[in-house]
Amino acid sequence: MSKPLITSLSDASTTSAHRCDVCIIGAGAAGIYLANQLAAGGLDVIVLEAGGSVCGSYAEVGFQADFGCETYPGATQGRFFGVGGTTSRWGGLLCPHTSLDLRDDAEFAPDQWPGIIDTVTRHSQTILQSLGYPLDGDFSGFAERALHRITPALKGAGLQPLASLFIPFRHRNFATQLGADLSAGASLRVITDAVACDWTMREDVSDGTAIGSVAAKSPGGQTVSVSADRFVIAAGTIESTRLLLELDTQFASRITPTTAAVGCYMSDHLSCTIADTDSNDWNKAIRLLAPRFNKGWMRSMRFIETNPPPATVRSFIHLIFEHSSSGFNVVREVLGGLQRRKMPSLSLDDFVSGLTAGIGLGWGRYVQNRLHIGKGTGSRMLLDTEQIPVKDNRITLGDTRDQYDRRNPVIDWRITDQDIENMHVVGSRMLDTWNRASLDLPRQIPRELQSDTSRPYDTFHPVGTCRMGEDPEAVVSPQLQVHGTDNLWVTSTAVLPTAGTANPTFTLLCLSHELAQQMLGHHHA
């Protein structure tokens, strides 16, 4: 079994130059998955990663972000760089976008979701197998069986239950996936501490625009140049957008069409608590909706409207169980440390309380086959809705520069009055539907709606700034190729038109798999 070669640009003593078939910018979930697939298929792949072998925040890498209006928390709390990227911190949640994301009356980009959903449907099982899940995802069937006799009432009321999957802690950081499927002779090189900062164009292309090479710089000033046949930007929404904006300003004329809305229409999921579980129904909530385990993978439930009114934003509801004990927090810190590959320091009291909580969690996991929910644990219902894309919600390049002499991204993002109104209307409707659907469901006590822009569950899902499509404002094609270029692609959540009804990571992996198949097919043709 071949292993990827991982080196740090900071350790280089001289300027170096490399040649490969495909150069990928970014070693997060999409970059690592794509690199594995391409290298396993026989291509020579180099990955440039701005962070190190252990992930750090955007500030630790030396990046900055400026804000045109209110602070966008996803830029300050949701970005991590290094091998594994943001997967070093995420919850490992996998759930697909489905036909429930389709809208016949969509006002914005109505033609993109069918293709996205088709890609997810075709590649879901392949993605799960590559991540180590031994069964069919069965996202709807598992949920319907778990809720057994309540399912008809829910579906009759217009709520479809779906079961998400959580990657086990030991595999959530995609650094553990790097090179997992490589055979002998595969060529995969990862250069860390390498910030892409300068590009050249190919001079031998007469009827198009093609990238020739990319240069990267380390925090200490060492540089490396990589030339390739094809380039893929897989650096997350904000950084991928900044790279495209830099490309458009580096040369005499922008590389993307003048109509392409690079950086515009930035949106996210908005999350708010709409109800608290009736204390009299606490045991019922745990029995029905506490996360459970299947073949070692945790599964939780969420609920989506099957027949929403016209012009309704995509949304879903789910129950949150809030573990507040110190012991559980210790266990969470330890598991998070394993995921980050950097263990926390613990006092003796922390160790004892964590051990006690760990025994309870182990009992629930291996004996009851569900997540242990201790007495006193709170339960509330959370609503997640997508923002309506607004062109002025955008990322641009500012005048201030970071330590690599790159212009900082300026993020103009705000929650509009229409977003707030959508949360009120959708939340009230879905909560009323829930409470009327069946007496066997745990009753929810409405709470005054308050949008939560601090995003305490790390569910930062920025999308839209490199949107896919064939219309004049689209930045990349449905095949993720940057319009106006011959050999540049983007695979990040930035290509999605809106946030939809799901965490976007699983859909991004499916899109990346499709891109890998296309590139391999072209290479072997």
Q: 408-419: per-residue pLDDT in tens?
A: 999 999 999 999
Least confident of 13-17, 152-156, 328-332, 334-338: 328-332
Q: Give the pLDDT score at 454.
A: 43
Q: Please compute the mean of the pLDDT values over residues 83-104 and round it to a whole number.
A: 92
Q: What is the pLDDT of residue 329?
A: 66
Q: What does the block give as tokens for 133?
A: 């899940």
Q: Strand 223-233 to strand 16-25: parallel, antiparallel, or no bridges (unpaired)?
A: parallel
pLDDT tens-digit readout, 418-464: 999 999 999 999 999 999 999 999 999 999 766 554 443 346 899 99
* Nearest to 84, CA basis, from 132, 39, 49: 49
How far is residue 151 from each of residues 56, 154, 155, measured CA to CA in Å?
43, 5, 6
**Alpha carbons 133 and 368: distance in angstroms, whole number:** 20
204 pLDDT more than 80: no
Q: Average the pLDDT over each of 186-195, 274-283, 340-349, 507-516 and give the range with the smallest value.
A: 340-349
Compute how many other C-beta atoms are within 10 angstroms of the C-beta atom of residue 331: 21
Please report, for residues 27, 233, 282, 410, the alpha-carbon distance to residue 23 in angstroms, rounded to integers and kept in the order given: 11, 9, 52, 27
In this predicted model, what pLDDT tens digit does every residue of 510-519 receive, in sequence order?
999 999 999 9
Confidence of residue 180 (pLDDT cuts 50, 70, 90): confident
pLDDT attached to residue 83: 96
pLDDT exceeds 80 at position 263: yes
Place of tokens 């999605």: 496
Q: Are 100 and 307 in contact (CB under 8 A)?
A: no
Residues 248, 258: Cα–Cα separation, whole Å: 10
Of residues 345 and 380, which shows the higher confidence score?
A: 380
Q: Please give the average per-residue pLDDT across 459-483, as a whole number.
A: 94
Taken in order 227, 228, 230, 235, is the CA torsion positive or negative? negative
Of 221, 250, 235, the C-alpha closest to 50 is 235
**For the chain, what is the total number of helices (H) and then of strands (E)?**
13, 21
- Answer whether 520's CB lies under 8 Å from 43's CB: yes
Classified as helix, coil or strand, 48 is: strand
- pTM equals 0.93
**How much of the chain exceeds pLDDT 70, in percent?**
88
Q: Over 60: is that where the pLDDT of 338 sits?
A: yes
Per-residue pLDDT band for 103 (boundaries 50, 70, 90) equals confident
- DSSP assignment string, 441-489: SPPEEEEEEEEETT-TT-----B-TT-BSSSTT-SB-TT-BBTT-SSEE
Q: Is residue 226's pLDDT more than 90?
A: yes
Residue 111 pLDDT level (bands cut at 50, 70, 90)? confident
Tell me the mean pLDDT in the region 497-515: 96
Mean pLDDT of 267-285: 93
Contacts of residue 344, defined as CB under 8 A and 6 or more positions apart, other chains included, come to 333, 334, 336, 337
- List Cβ neighbours of 221 (8 Å cut-off, separation of 6 or more): none
Task: For residue range 353-408, list pLDDT tens digits in order.
Answer: 666 666 666 666 666 677 777 777 889 999 999 999 999 999 999 999 999 999 99
- Which of 58, 60, 96 shows the shortest CA–CA distance to 78? 58
Q: Out of 26-30, 312-316, 321-325, pick the least confident.
A: 321-325
Q: Rounded mean pLDDT of 342-362? A: 65
Q: Encode pLDDT of 234-249 as tens digits.
A: 999 999 999 999 999 9
CA distance readout (Å), 437 to 160, 318, 444, 476: 12, 15, 12, 42
- Residue 350, pLDDT > 70, answer no
Q: What is the pLDDT of residue 335?
A: 67
Contacts of residue 244, defined as CB under 8 A and 6 or more positions apart, other chains included, come to 233, 256, 262, 263, 466, 475, 482, 490
User: 93-94 and 159-166 as β-strands: parallel, antiparallel, unpaired?
Assistant: antiparallel
Query: Comparing 483 with 328, which gets the higher pLDDT?
Result: 483
Higher pLDDT, 350 or 393: 393
Q: Please give the Cα distance from 409 to 426 (Å, whole number).
A: 33
Distance CA 27, CA 6 (A): 11
pLDDT of residue 106: 57
Least confident of 27-31, 204-208, 310-314, 446-450: 204-208
Q: State the Cα–Cα distance between residues 141 and 132, nearest whole angstrom.
A: 20
H-state helical runs in 111-236:
112-131, 139-146, 151-157, 169-172
d(CA 177, CA 171): 7
Mean pLDDT of 67-77: 87
